Structure 1
Amino acid sequence: MSSSSSDNEDDSSESSDDESSLSSESESEHDEEHAPVESVPPKEPESPDNMAVDEDYLTKHQNVFSKFKRSAIEQPAEEAPEASDEDVQDIGPLPQPTLPRDYRLKITQSNHLDWLSKPIYSKPEHTWPFETFDLSDTMKSNLATGGFIDAFSVQVTVLEMMLKDTKENKLKPDSNGDILVNASTGSGKTLAYSIPIIESLCTRVVPRVRAIILVPTKPLVSQVKQTLLQLSKGTSLYVMNLRNDISIREEAEKLTGNPPDIIVSTPGRLVEHVTGNSIDLNSLRYLVIDEADRLLGQSFQNWSRVLVERLEAKQSSMVESWKLRVQKLVFSATLTTDAGKLAMLHFYKPRLVIVNDEEKLVNEMFSTPRTLSEFTLQFSSNKSSLKPLILAKFLMKSNKLSNVLVFTKSNEASIRLSKLLSLVFDGFGVSMVVEYLNSTNNSTMARKKLLMAFDSGQVNVLVVTDLIARGIDVLSITDVVNYDMPNSSREYVHRVGRTARANNDGRAYNFVFGKGEMRWMSRLLRDVSRSREVEMVEEMFLDEGDEEVYRKCLGELQNIVER
């Protein structure tokens, strides 16, 4: 009890008199708990009227009580409604709103991807004369004029499938299915879809938009259009490419005033016209997606969703009208098997064609041309400062003095390397013309002029970036140099695919400095299918006195930059 008294003394210094009395009452209650228990009936609780009133307490809070009484008089209390059985709530989980379904996943589940595991394989060396196909005389003549004598593997396979579809569609409009093609760059994919489309449309009577071809860049738009114009000579087909250098309104007037049969465009420009209702899709027969890996990997104003929704609305009315389905033709050297990306296109009876030596399917289908030879040149990391010199000496010692395409990582790197290579070649007394091509000088006319000079041999070495790699279709390129490392296996395939095109021989050289770059390059090469093994080159190309010449060239470059 002494400790309890001590506690109460401490509390009394901080409490009011009322709290001290309550503390003493608690002491007496504590004593009663230890007293003998007697059988005493419980007391009735005192009513409020009988309870002792603390006058000091009432006086202290008189104002509060007065206000409470006035409010009680002014607002009489309402009778509380009796509780009914209906008001009793069941203690259970509240109903939850329906969770939104992911649109992509829904489509993926409804369209089984079994066809991915059952592709149609075609050997790259498989060729067949165009004369043996059931083509019109006009088409055969145009092919011969263009120098196309034999059909390459991808052309043989796609031609056979699409020519058969065209015949069967005359009796059964929904017999044809979509086609996806995985073939290396330079294998002739443009001809593979251009020939059957022109053959199918050449007998049309009323001009309407019947084929749309989508490519990722403006240079590819021009290339594809030129191929279509060459193959459609002697027919009344109108081929039009959508351009960014004229206004949408002016181009829309051309589309509505004189509808083309075939449109070649980038996705962004096409979506602008589709949403503006300047392109009528009611008669569309073919939708070609070229370089599909790049188009599906970027949004381009959600082109796939906008276009597919318009086509799906058109197909939904097929029950009432006897119309052919839109056939989707997808082409790529690095075709993805990602179900989410493929499901966006809503394929109908899809068929997958793979042009490859080996019959195997991987997550990402990367393959190099069959006639390509690949080499890796490995150097120690302390030689990286001499990288431009090593490249120049390699080209001179290997006698690669023309038709060489060099890839760098940026616009700045391509400009600097082209100027430095020119100085180094001059320093060693070798006459070489080195130019660069990147987004800073990629206008239509400048690009065309530069590529013509490169193709004819007036430009010996062309230094470029990845951004414009896919737009270069020059058959005379014999050597590709990966001066800077590619960022992915996909980019590697498109780089080296600039050579060894149309069954011509080609070579690709990978410059690797240090163990880190070697590990990265080995990883990229493992993901790519090829017909020949990659060879290692360990020769040292520098001679005594080369570094002194190089230092003088660096000084000259510095003077040029400072002017």
Structure 2
Amino acid sequence: MKFSELNLDPELMEGIDATGYVTLTPIQEQVMPPILEGKDIIASAQTGTGKTAAFLLPILSKLIAHRHEGHISAIIIVPTRELAVQIAQHVEGIAYFTPISSIAIYGGGDGNAFVTEKKALTNGVDLVICTPGKMIAHLNMGYVSLKHLQFLVLDEADRMLDMGFHDDIMRIIRQIPEKRQTLLFSATMPEKIRSLAKKILHQPVEVNIAISKPPEKIVQKAYVVYEPQKLPLMTNLLKELSFRSLIIFCSRKQTVKQLTQSLKRAKLNVSEIHSDLEQSGREDIMLGFKSGRIPILVATDVLSRGIDIDTIDVVVNYDVPHDGEDYVHRIGRTARAEKDGVAITLVSDKEINRFARIEALIGKEVEKAPVPEALGPAPAYQPSQRRSRPQGQGSHGGQGGQQKRRNFKPGNRTGQPKGKPQQ
């Protein structure tokens, strides 16, 4: 199905053409027609499927036809600042030729940002992209009216509930009209999401697109090592792999800081991003990473869902995530927009059982790559045992652990904008 078949507003179609959209992704094809018909949606989909466009395009098209000038007409609630900024940038691109106004509202800004937000919320803005806590802060001050709201979107709803935003979300919902169109998007569908959906949705259309399993095009590999072997292995991989953009995920920000310093000492061009950084610093680093000026980024899980850049060739899990779903989201940062990608996980002897549980979740045994002989004996991968005995490098097969270089080539896009990050 092509975007030209959807009968979207002509001004919006100019933006769609300019950003390179041609054909719809599967979730766009299933979600956009019912949204255009005015139906509520509960949708489960992996990141990288084009779901941001799936809800933005029909909402923008309908807003152009039924604007309430001087009022807030649509709110998109998201879990993180990064995702709020990303969606706002996406809106700016595709709505460039339309009269639609929008603003991103999130914590961590300075006084000038607050003044700008207050002015927009007071005078009225068509579309607000916000984090729950910051929106509540404005609502508490009494100058925000949501009486004319037509559309409510909850994106990454499972993540927001995991972060403790349930009460904030409900407080916002209590201030908006019951007669509205509500769209709920979630990577997973646990019972708490089902319960929330029953409270806020009206006879929703349900869409499920391949949850809890990474795309087949991601080449997954794991190295089973002792903890002290991780740093030298990581350094070796970064010098051997061919990539434009690579992201390394760590579960703790202290690990992020230590690893970044170690890699800098190895003369690698690397930056770090975590919650200790000021918002302006995080945005500068993300800009450098997106532009390619910073080829290697070390990050906490704050970015496992909040970053959508089409050019990430390799994702490395420096440690094994505690949650299998987090593994899926981490490695889902690569192989986007029909491109290839590699996901590498460094599994310490103490993380073997955890990684085995992840393999069970995704229904696939991840290839165990040989550790370079220069690093010494490595543990055997024996999930059923608490301890693994050291084993020589011949045990995994291969040739001395040399990672083959891959030359990544851009693929064809379907429902993904050129040069813009896509959620």
Name the TM-score, length of structure 1 as normaliser: 0.62
Match for residue 523 of structure 1? 357
Match for residue 96 of structure 2? 233
Q: 174, 197, 210: which one pairs with 1:309?
A: 174
Deviation of residue 275 (structure 1)? 4.0
What secondary structure is seen at the aligned counterpart in 2 of 1:287? strand
In the alignment, residue 297 of structure 1 is paired with which amino acid?
D
- The answer to whether the Cα contact below 8 Å between 2:103 and 2:117 also exists between their aligned partners in 1 is no
What secondary structure is seen at the aligned counterpart in 2 of 1:149? coil
Q: 189, 199, 202: which one pairs with 1:335?
A: 189
Pair 1:210 & 2:56 matched: no
In the alignment, residue 254 of structure 1 is paired with which amino acid?
K
Residues 62-211 of structure 1 aligned to structure 2 (within 5 Å) = 128-163=1-36, 165-166=37-38, 176=39, 178-207=40-69, 208-211=71-74
- The answer to whether the Cα contact below 8 Å between 1:478 and 1:507 also exists between their aligned partners in 2 is yes
- The answer to whether the Cα contact below 8 Å between 1:239 and 1:262 also exists between their aligned partners in 2 is yes
From the superposition, tell whether residues 218 and 273 of structure 1 become closer, same or farther in structure 2 (CA, over 3 Å).
same
Deviation of residue 534 (structure 1)? 4.2
Q: Which has the larger radius of gyration?
A: 1
Distance (whole Å) between structure 1 residues aligned to residue 224 and residue 326 of structure 2: 20
Distance (whole Å) between structure 2 residues aligned to residue 370 and residue 130 of structure 1: 26
Residues 491-502 of structure 1 aligned to structure 2 (within 5 Å) = 491-502=326-337
In the alignment, residue 276 of structure 2 is paired with which amino acid?
T
- The answer to whether the Cα contact below 8 Å between 1:159 and 1:192 also exists between their aligned partners in 2 is yes
Distance (whole Å) between structure 1 residues aligned to residue 205 and residue 265 of structure 2: 53
From the superposition, tell whether residues 347 and 401 of structure 1 become closer, same or farther in structure 2 (CA, over 3 Å).
closer
What secondary structure is seen at the aligned counterpart in 1 of 2:175? helix
Distance (whole Å) between structure 2 residues aligned to residue 326 and residue 211 of structure 1: 10
Distance (whole Å) between structure 2 residues aligned to residue 437 and residue 544 of structure 1: 29
From the superposition, tell whether residues 296 and 540 of structure 1 become closer, same or farther in structure 2 (CA, over 3 Å).
closer
Identity of aligned residues (%): 27
Q: 213, 224, 227: which one pairs with 1:367?
A: 213
Distance (whole Å) between structure 2 residues aligned to residue 200 and residue 305 of structure 1: 25
In the alignment, residue 540 of structure 1 is paired with which amino acid?
V
Pair 1:281 & 2:135 matched: no
Deviation digits for residues 257-283 of structure 1, max 9, x if unmatched? 421111111111222333444222222
- The answer to whether the Cα contact below 8 Å between 1:292 and 1:335 also exists between their aligned partners in 2 is no
Match for residue 406 of structure 2? none
- The answer to whether the Cα contact below 8 Å between 1:402 and 1:459 also exists between their aligned partners in 2 is no
Distance (whole Å) between structure 2 residues aligned to residue 301 and residue 161 of structure 1: 26
From the superposition, tell whether residues 511 and 210 of structure 1 become closer, same or farther in structure 2 (CA, over 3 Å).
same
Q: 417, 428, 434: which one pairs with 2:259?
A: 417
Match for residue 438 of structure 1? 274
Distance (whole Å) between structure 1 residues aligned to residue 331 and residue 369 of structure 2: 21
Distance (whole Å) between structure 2 residues aligned to residue 386 and residue 256 of structure 1: 52
What secondary structure is seen at the aligned counterpart in 1 of 2:75? strand
Deviation of residue 413 (structure 1)? 1.1
What secondary structure is seen at the aligned counterpart in 2 of 1:543? helix
Pair 1:464 & 2:329 matched: no
Match for residue 205 of structure 2? 351
Q: 320, 326, 333: which one pairs with 1:485?
A: 320
What secondary structure is seen at the aligned counterpart in 2 of 1:470? coil
Deviation digits for residues 261-312 of structure 1, max 9, x if unmatched? 111111112223334442222221111011111112233382132133334x
Match for residue 248 of structure 2? 406
Match for residue 224 of structure 2? 378
Structure having the higher helix fraction is 1
In the alignment, residue 65 of structure 2 is paired with which amino acid?
T
Match for residue 474 of structure 1? 309
Match for residue 392 of structure 1? 235
- The answer to whether the Cα contact below 8 Å between 1:287 and 1:326 also exists between their aligned partners in 2 is yes
Unaligned runs of 5+ in 1: 1-127, 167-175, 316-324, 357-364, 427-431, 546-563
Distance (whole Å) between structure 2 residues aligned to residue 147 and residue 407 of structure 1: 30
What secondary structure is seen at the aligned counterpart in 1 of 2:164? coil
- The answer to whether the Cα contact below 8 Å between 1:304 and 1:345 also exists between their aligned partners in 2 is no
Match for residue 84 of structure 2? 221
Deviation digits for residues 102-155 of structure 1, max 9, x if unmatched? xxxxxxxxxxxxxxxxxxxxxxxxxx3222322222222211211222221111
Deviation digits for residues 461-516 of structure 1, max 9, x if unmatched? 211111233222221101101111211012212211111222222121111122x4
- The answer to whether the Cα contact below 8 Å between 1:185 and 1:369 also exists between their aligned partners in 2 is no
What secondary structure is seen at the aligned counterpart in 1 of 2:171? helix
In the alignment, residue 219 of structure 2 is paired with which amino acid?
S
What secondary structure is seen at the aligned counterpart in 2 of 1:194? helix
Deviation of residue 344 (structure 1)? 6.7
Distance (whole Å) between structure 2 residues aligned to residue 258 and residue 343 of structure 1: 31
Deviation digits for residues 67-111 of structure 1, max 9, x if unmatched? xxxxxxxxxxxxxxxxxxxxxxxxxxxxxxxxxxxxxxxxxxxxx
Residues 548-559 of structure 1 aligned to structure 2 (within 5 Å) = none
Distance (whole Å) between structure 2 residues aligned to residue 308 and residue 184 of structure 1: 26
Unaligned runs of 5+ in 2: 377-423
Distance (whole Å) between structure 1 residues aligned to residue 63 and residue 4 of structure 2: 20
How large is the RMSD of aligned CA atoms in angstroms? 2.6
Name the TM-score, length of structure 2 as normaliser: 0.80
In the alignment, residue 274 of structure 1 is paired with which amino acid?
L
In the alignment, residue 393 of structure 1 is paired with which amino acid?
N
